[in-house]
Structure 1
């Protein structure tokens, strides 16, 4: 390891980051955000604030000869009263696009959530240090993918050789929006969330606006998508609207149209793929809301169940089957004047046979193996020969 006199110190700046829409300066360094400040100011929901500050898809990207590096970081970890401790967030190291290491930062802040009382307690901590050594010699492109499920403030980057921002890759930019499943839920690491894995297979650069619990057709999210440069865009719509029991069919249809209208203001001809929910048996015919099973929590597990009544669909309550039918109808209607708009049924990514083999552990979120399967399916259906196929290649 280099001594402290051998290190070259580089402040982390926006120029070294990929996948963030905003970078906030803090007393510890910088905090990447996945929604711009104007959007964050329009909604103070703690769920959204937590989700957008968790840097799913955000990575440091630089070119260097360094064979050792250190990164100071202040994580904010979450825990639940009555549940086993969550593992530390994972950082993935890529060298010239290939996996080269994995690590975590201990310590940091901790938010303890009491689901029964509906409270959250913050305990502040100190920064930790991520280290990678024995990197290959010579000039190389290095990426450090930040934990997808852990809010992360970044301090100083130290290396044993100078760094410079990685030049533009020339790859197409894929802008994706979805729920906690797109955010990463129970994926093993930031490069193995299904969008990150699909991006690697599809040869594109990912901007992931998967926002756990917050894919709710919010106008400020639509404007963020509108204003973000991208070559292809996908919108995964539905499960959070059922989870939260946020709206009825009467509101859903114009909200989807309005969301698409706003995105199209900034991307009038960009290939745009609307993706309906993957299979979720508890909500296929039963509306929300989804609630935590406190009995399972006392046993050290997280389990969800549906509180709605299938008969309530007659009054406009949303179940996943209703949402899929309406999304397909909306896309078909609009595609008559928008040939670059397409629809993908989420059950092609994860359906009945997949559920029989790889059931959802908490009834709602896919596990690590299922993330890889969904990512591989999406790459095949969208990038290999579908709506996002590169016709210029």
Structure 2
């Protein structure tokens, strides 16, 4: 029987791709963006936008009938991570991505196929092809749309693969449609992030706030509460019915009681996050929720915090295990 080749790249079949805010054509491929590209000239944050071109949480998801899948990728930076391919929820292939890589998978039977792009390092998609006598790809059914924002801990660069970051693990466990706005070293309440969240469709939003603010000395004790309040209230205005979960910083022993250049220790930032969220809830936002980061990753978990800041793969799995029920408990009933 003659073989059929079905093109499923982001340009040909955008409905089969999830997790990207936007795609742009670049050379002979497609660049995923996790922030609105038109905001880049006005963000004055090249490091933030470099992270926004990494594919954390970006994936192909479809019910596939084919004998073979091929995806062609290129890594545009030296720190890119591997690509993961899952079939019916099981990881079946993990391949490194070089300057130009073709990852292939033989498919034994029809099933749900997910291809998770590298979660760190800029990456471009040059093609995704399904090959077989009657190759088809059907979009996944609509699911709860979850937007999560945070730092390198949310981007989870130290996880072994893109399908094993804590947001990916939560989304896979709950069968949610993830948009991951985790940006290593760049979680500073930027307007470009707020503008992006404003324009995304979201059934639930989570915000993991504080660690980069402490590390970068972004705000001082006078300016931080107002910035936190403005950011959260802005998300609420654009998503009036969505539950919002604010997660204060997980543990980082060296930073807990050591003031930064702006005069704030991590424990003080955690207290300010708690104060702001509590004030907003008391002012009437009954869909706003708070989780203390120590409940998600605390003093008993330090063996999984090798650099004193970032969990390892087991640590991210633990975070997912603890966060999934908290997110599920406040999510709207689908």
Band of TM-score, shorter chain = over 0.9
Paired with 1:53 and 1:100, the residues of 2 have a C-alpha distance of 26
Indicate the SS of the match to 2:273: helix
* 2:74 is the alignment partner of 1:102: no
Residue number among 309, 315, 318 corresponding to 1:364 in the alignment? 309
Counterparts of 1:1-393 in structure 2 under 5 Å?
A: 7-13=5-11, 14-78=14-78, 89-106=81-98, 108=99, 127-133=100-106, 135-138=107-110, 140-161=111-132, 162-167=135-140, 169-288=141-260, 317-336=263-282, 337-355=284-302, 357-358=303-304, 360-383=305-328, 386-388=329-331, 390=332, 392=333
How far the C-alpha of 1:332 sits from its partner, in A, is: 1.1
> Aligned partners of 1:323 and 1:366: how far apart in 2?
20
Q: How many residues align?
A: 329
Please report how far the alpha carbon of residue 44 of structure 1 lies from its aligned counterpart in structure 2 after TM superposition.
Answer: 4.0
RMSD: 2.0
Describe the superposition over 1:197-228 as per-residue Cα deviations: whole angstroms up to 9, x where unpaired. 12222232211101111110112211211211
Q: Which runs of 5+ in 2 are unaligned?
A: none
CA deviations 1:62-118 (Å, max 9, x no partner) are 332112111111112335xxxxxxxx6211112233323222233x1xxxxxxxxxx
CA spacing shift, 1:220–1:279, aligned 2, 3 Å: same
Larger Rg: 1
State whether residues 278 and 349 of structure 1, in contact with CA within 8 Å, keep that contact through their aligned partners in structure 2: yes
For residues 305-343 of structure 1, the C-alpha deviation after alignment (integer angstroms, 9 at most, x for no partner) is xxx5xxxxxxx6222111111111111111121000111
Cα pair distance change 1:101/1:218, threshold 3 Å: same
Paired residues of 1:201 and 1:376 also in contact (CA < 8 A)? no
**C-alpha separation in 1, matches of 2:57 and 2:297:** 22
CA contact (8 A) 1:95 1:141 kept: yes
Is the alpha carbon distance of 1:287 and 1:141 closer, same or farther for their aligned partners in structure 2, counting shifts above 3 Å? same
SS of the residue aligned with 1:331?
helix
Aligned 8 A contact 2:32 2:55 in 1? yes
Paired with 1:270 and 1:228, the residues of 2 have a C-alpha distance of 12
Structure 1: where are the runs of 5+ without partners?
Answer: 80-87, 109-126, 289-307, 309-315
Q: Is the 8 A contact 2:214 2:269 kept in 1?
A: no
When the two structures are superposed, what TM-score results if normalisation uses the length of structure 1?
A: 0.79
